[in-house]
A and B are shown apart, each in its own frame.
Chain A
Amino acid sequence: MNQLQTKARVKQLIAGAMAVALIAGCSSGSSESAETSTGPLVVYSGRSEALVAELFSQFTTQTGIKLEVRYADSGELAALLITEGDASPADVYFSQDAGALGAVEDAGLLSTLPSDITNLVDSRFRSTQDRWVATSGRARVAVYNPELVSVVPNTIDDILNPMWKGKIGFAPTNASWQSFVTALRVIRGEAEAEQWLTAFKANEPVPYEKNGAVRDAVNIGEVSLGLVNHYYLYEKIAAEGADAVVAKNHYFINGDVGGLINVAGVGVLESSKNTNAANQLVKFLLSVQGQEYFGLKTFEYPLAAGVAPFSELPTIEELNPPAIDLSNLKSLAETQELLAKTGLLTK
């Protein structure tokens, strides 16, 4: 008579179904697992896709080695590599700056590069332990507007002169500017670096969002002088034609810290099971083809011996950049603290 007799079984059924669904949900899509030893070469690239994708595809065309490239911020990739440790799927780490390479090297994750690679690059532009090499360089310059400036400062101390008050543009969050400040700290020591930054702040520099904006502000005369990387000027000339660009680059020479050369660089992971192919990629980046690519595409300095920079640039020898172990640029955290302390980083 009673339709309401127990439905307790239903409960167990549902429980079972949910458990199955959970397991299925967790394991679906796991069919293909990467075979690191025979699969494509895995590259973690802190350099942007817009910049390097074309060069990578040239490499694949020439060698037949397929690349799997993961693009992200250089620092986050370094953190990723350090967290992954020995289990990392990455074979090659291509970084926007030397500091991140230094951190991965310190974690013992980079392998020693063969001498036929390291010999291609001047010792200033590779790790002291030969675990990474620079692939291109960016010189710090003062971009200036010749219509407003007659005497260009020769050193970073010259720009502390009150005549530049309110006339200097800079990009406080830009990594290259922060690398310059790191170099300042490393070369002159914390106290003097702080002193310089305090004086710089007192000269009321104008902050911009990006280096490109600093350059544009100089070009239209909003400010007279800007502290940027050398290639921003050439990018603008390439995009808008030489006639549209008034601004000029001034290089800090004679080892002044203002003329720091920052590098992008590459290393091969110790855990890579594909070292040969990885070394081949590094070699390709340092080849004439690779170096000219950076020279033409980004107007950066080629750093492999025997490749001349873009014609309008002074040579590295002429620049005579300050002597610094680029791995030491990894103390960026302290730099940011100092910038914050001197009121140059944030509002």
Chain B
Amino acid sequence: MSSRTRAPFALVAPALVASVLSLVPVWYLFQTAFTSGFAAVVDELFQSRTLQLVLRSLLLMVTVTSASVVIGVFAAWVVARSPLRPRLLLIIAFSLSLAIPSYLAAFAWVSWIPGISGFLGAFIVLTFVCYPFVMLPVIASMDISDPMSEKVALSLGRTPFGVFRTVTLGQSRPAITGGALLVALYVLSDFGAVAAMRYEVFTWVIYGAYRAGFNPSRAAILSTVLLMAALVLTLIEARVRSTRDTFRLGSGVRRATNIQFGIPARIATITGAVLLVALGAGVPIWRAIYWTGFDSSNQVQWDVVISSIATSFGIGIVTSVVTALVALPIALLSARYRGRASQILEGSTYVAHALPGIVIAISIVYLGIRTLRPLYQEMPLLILAQVLIFLPLAVASMRSAIAMSTQSLEHVARSLGAGSMMTLLRVTIPLALPGIMAAGALSMLSSVKELPATLLLRPTGTETLATQIWKFSSVSDYASVGPFALAMILLAVVPVAVLTATTRHGVAR
């Protein structure tokens, strides 16, 4: 839409509120970092060890992001283009690894193959946890792009792989870069996997400042490094996207078809898919069953498991709905009213994603204890913290869905008497529904496994699956961890199924 068109106030106001909330952790960090003076900040940051750890973080970020892009695109292609079916099962199987907390996945691996710890282990675990961030948006973009153009390319003499490389990938580029940004930010902020794998990266010193140094202001100073990294990554992605964003051309209604394949290609595809599921979700699930030891005399407290499922589910649902509602105005502004201002709004929500959960949790503590005392250590504040953590996931997923629906639809609606808000409600949002549902599902998945904020901000006595797993794994009681881990994976099937059911909205096959 032309820059001359003003965004409706009803959209700008909530987006501004969300953006301000997203910047709470940033405000807290600077507030805290500079209490000990500018010199202390400089002193802390310009140490050779800091630089060395930043480099290790960057190495892990680059390798995991690259691998996640390769695997995520492959998985998306299997779902959206290959003849493998059923689709529902494929998406669920490929998304399960996203439901497994990185610390748990890492422990599953390291307890199976102790020698894997270090860079290799961290790389493997994070890649499997993260590739769905790339896969999900790419599936959506492949569903929405016209497979006819792939057939055209084939008819022009390209090999199937050539078609994939030039046409399929080209059309999915905005989705890939968006997903890659989420992966990169996640890797920068992760502590669970690198701790269990004993691969020292930058988050070690941040957690060290809390757990070993008992020094929140030192942690704040160190966290500003991650903020800077997030800022740079977000800017890079925005630049790549602004030159690449594609609006779908052609008719408003699409018909999808599949490319046929030969037997060897089929075998290779099946092998790849099976390996992916076996390593990504299979290993942790198998370890969880093994820990539970169902054949031995171990007593599983099913009532506790069930009540924890209920709590996790409840928090997850509320968090995902609120996250989706908060993300929607930002995503709409960013996709439909492009400009410096909407870019800043959107970017502000990403920055916090590079911060470890504990930093966001502590910043919400800082805000809550001072200004929202009645809500402190009550559900609303926990949900607020989770919403801030997952907002970028939701915004990214929605933005690409909105950007992909053609704008002439909105013009038609306007001409038929619908105001800009009515157009959003009656046309833009219903058409972007797959993206919106996916955003909710992603938030729900992430909420169920979220630990650091839940531990500090939950109402006393509230037990989620994540806190139960933490409780028992911290005393090495893996027999008790097993059932909760399995329940967590099982619970993940719900959001993934929602996600799957809606990603094909409006596609005639």
| A interface list, Cβ under 8 A from B | 3-4, 7-8, 10-11, 14-15, 18-19, 21-22, 25-30, 32-34, 42, 48-51, 68-76, 78-80, 82-85, 87-89, 99-100, 102-104, 172-173, 178, 207, 209-210, 212, 330-333, 335-337, 340, 345-347
Pair A333/B421 contact, Cβ less than 8 Å: no
How many Å lie between the Cα of A79 and that of B215 in the bound state? 7
* The one of B195, B416, B476 that contacts A4, using a Cβ cutoff of 8 Å: B416
CA distance A307 to B154 in the complex (A): 84
Q: Is B455 an interface residue (CB 8 A)?
A: yes
CB distance from A103 to the nearest CB of B (A): 3
Interface of chain B residues 177 through 220 with chain A (CB within 8 A): 195, 197-200, 204-205, 208-216, 218-219
Q: Known: A70-B460, A87-B369, A209-B110. Is A76-B210 also a contact (CB below 8 A)? A: yes
B471 touches A10 (CB 8 A): no
Check A15–B369 contact: CB distance below 8 A. no
Q: Tell me which of B114, B362, B369, B422 contacts A85 (CB under 8 A).
A: B369
The answer to whether B10 touches A18 (Cβ under 8 A) is: yes
Which segment of B246-254, B371-379, B440-448 sits at the interface?
B371-379
Closest 5 CB pairs of A and B: A103-B214, A347-B118, A75-B211, A332-B212, A333-B213
Query: B159 on the interface (CB 8 Å rule)?
Result: no
Cβ–Cβ contact A178 & B212, under 8 A? yes
Binding site for A on B (CB under 8 A): 8-10, 13-14, 17, 49, 110-111, 114, 117-119, 195, 197-200, 204-205, 208-216, 218-219, 322, 325, 358, 362, 365-366, 369-370, 373-380, 416-422, 425, 452, 455-456, 460-461, 471-472, 474-477
For residue B107, which residue of chain A has the nearest CB?
A209
Contact A80 B195 (CB under 8 A): no
Known contacts A80-B456, A340-B200; decide if A29 and B378 are in contact (CB<8 Å). Answer: yes
A7-B419, A69-B460, A83-B216 in contact; A48/B370 too (CB < 8 A)? no
Assembled-state Cα–Cα distance A88/B365 (Å): 10
Q: How far is the CB of A291 from chain B (nearest CB, A)?
A: 21
Contacts of B205 in A (CB 8 A): 333
CA A218 – CA B110 in complex, angstroms? 20
Partner of B475, one of A51, A103, A345: A51
Task: Give the complex CA separation of A42 and B211 in angstroms.
Answer: 21
**Whole-angstrom distance between the Cβ of B321 and the nearest chain A Cβ:** 9
Does the CB pair B215–A333 fall under 8 Å?
yes
| Majority DSSP secondary structure for residues of B touching A | helix
17 contacts between A and B (CB under 8 A): A8-B419, A11-B421, A15-B13, A18-B10, A29-B375, A50-B472, A51-B475, A72-B456, A75-B214, A78-B210, A83-B362, A83-B369, A103-B213, A330-B214, A333-B209, A336-B208, A345-B198
Query: Which residues of chain A come closer than 8 Å to B197, judged between CB atoms?
Result: 347
Q: Nearest chain A CB to B120's CB is how many angstroms away?
A: 9
A103 touches B215 (CB 8 A): yes
With both beta carbons as reference points, the residue of chain B lying nearest to A86 in the complex is identified as B369
Q: A14 to B425, Cβ gap below 8 A?
A: yes
Chain A positions within 8 Å of B8 at CB level: 11, 15
B455 A76 Cβ-Cβ under 8 A: yes
Question: Which residues of A sit under 8 angstroms from B418, Cβ to Cβ?
Answer: 7
- Inter-subunit contact B208/A4 (CB<8 Å): no
Report A-chain residues with C-beta under 8 Å of the C-beta of B455.
Answer: 71-73, 76
Contact between B13 and A28, CB atoms less than 8 A apart: no
Check A75/B210 contact, CB under 8 A, given A22-B17, A51-B475. Answer: yes
Tell me whether A79 and B460 are in contact (CB under 8 A): no
| Interface SS of A by simple majority | helix
Docked complex Cα distance between A75 and B216 (Å) = 10
- Report whether B456 and A76 are in contact in the complex, using a CB–CB cutoff of 8 Å: yes
Closest chain B residue to A340, Cβ basis: B200
Contact B216 A82 (CB under 8 A): yes
Q: How far is the CA of A73 from the CA of B322 in the complex (A)?
A: 29
Closest chain-A Cβ to B102's Cβ sits at a distance in Å of 16
Chain B proximity of A57: nearest CB distance (Å): 13
* Partner of B322 from A25, A83, A331 at Cβ < 8 Å: A25
Give B429 Cβ to nearest chain A Cβ, in Å.
12
Whether the Cβ atoms of B376 and A89 lie closer than 8 Å is: yes
Q: Is there contact, CB below 8 Å, between A76 and B358? A: yes
Q: Which residues of A contact B322 (CB under 8 A)?
A: 25
Alpha-carbon distance A18/B8, docked complex (angstroms): 13
Q: Is the CB of A30 within 8 A of B375?
A: yes
Asked if B365 contacts A84 (CB within 8 A), the reply is yes
Q: Given A76-B455, A83-B365, check contact A210 B419 (CB 8 Å).
A: no
Closest to B218 in A: A333
Bound Cα distance A93, B474 (Å):
19
Residues of B within 8 A of A22 (CB): 14, 17
- Closest-by-CB residue of B relative to A207 is B198
Across the interface, which residues of A come within 8 angstroms of B375, CB to CB?
Answer: 29-30
Which B residues are CB-close (under 8 A) to A210? 476
Q: Contacts of B417 on A, CB cut-off 8 Å?
A: 3-4, 7
Q: Are B460 and A14 in contact (CB under 8 A)?
A: no
Does A15 lie within 8 Å of B210, measured CB to CB?
no
Kindly state the separation between the CA atoms of A23 and B150 in the bound complex, as whole angstroms.
49
B114:A209 contact, CB within 8 angstroms: yes
B13 CB contacts on chain A under 8 angstroms: 15, 18-19
Minimum distance in angstroms from A31 CB to a CB of chain B: 9
Q: Which of B110, B369, B472 meets A84, CB within 8 Å? A: B369
Question: In the assembly, what is the distance between CA of A139 and CA of B359, in Å?
Answer: 33
> Are A15 and B10 in touch, CB under 8 angstroms?
yes
Roughly how many angstroms separate A345 CA and B474 CA in the complex, as a whole number? 19
Contacts of A83 in B (CB 8 A): 216, 362, 365-366, 369
Question: Does B214 contact A30, Cβ atoms closer than 8 Å?
Answer: no
- Chain B residues, Cβ within 8 Å of A102: 214
A25-B14 Cα distance, complex, nearest whole Å: 13
Among A11, A25, A207, point to the contact of B419 (Cβ < 8 A).
A11
Name the residue on B nearest A182 (C-beta): B212
Residue contact B369 to A42, C-beta cutoff 8 Å: no
* In-complex Cβ contact of A79 among B117, B216, B369, B477 (8 A): B216
Q: Smallest distance from the beta carbon of B123 to chain A beta carbons, Å?
A: 12
A29: min CB distance to chain B, Å: 5
Taking the nearest CB of chain B, how far is it from the CB of A22, in angstroms?
6
A70 partner residues in chain B, CB cutoff 8 A? 377, 456, 460
Instruction: Look across to chain B and name the residue whose beta carbon is closest to the beta carbon of A95.
Output: B214
User: Which residue, of B9, B214, B325, B460, has the highest number of chain A Cβ atoms within 10 A?
Assistant: B214
**A39: min CB distance to chain B, Å:** 10
Question: In the complex, A40→B48 CA distance in Å?
Answer: 48
With A and B bound together, what is the CA distance between A82 and B118 in angstroms? 33
Give A85 to B369 CA distance when docked, in angstroms.
9
Q: How far is it, in angstroms, between the C-alpha of A172 and the C-alpha of B375 when the chains are bound?
A: 40
Q: A173, B198: Cβ atoms under 8 Å?
A: yes
- In the complex, what residues of A have CB within 8 A of residue B472's CB? 50
State the CA gap A21–B13 with chains docked (Å).
13
B374 touching A30 by the CB < 8 A rule?
yes
A119–B476 CA distance with the chains assembled, in angstroms: 35
Q: Do B17 and A104 have beta carbons less than 8 Å apart?
A: no
A residues less than 8 Å from B475 (CB atoms): 48, 50-51
A7 CA / B418 CA spacing, docked (Å):
7
Contact A29 to B198, CB < 8 A, known contacts A14-B10, A333-B208: no
Contacts of B376 in A (CB 8 A): 89
Please report the C-alpha to C-alpha distance between residue A207 and residue B49 in the assembled complex, in whole angstroms: 23
Is B200 a contact of A29 with CB atoms below 8 Å? no
Whether the Cβ atoms of A29 and B380 lie closer than 8 Å is yes
A32 contact set on B, CB distance < 8 A? 378
Q: Could you list 4 further interchain pairs (A-B, Cβ under 8 angstroms) beyond the known A332-B213, A345-B200, A347-B199?
A: A14-B10, A25-B322, A69-B461, A346-B199
- Report the separation of the CA atoms of residues A104 and B373 in the bound assembly, to the nearest whole angstrom: 21
CB distance from A19 to the nearest CB of B (A): 7
Whether the Cβ atoms of B380 and A26 lie closer than 8 Å is yes
The answer to whether A49 touches B471 (Cβ under 8 A) is yes
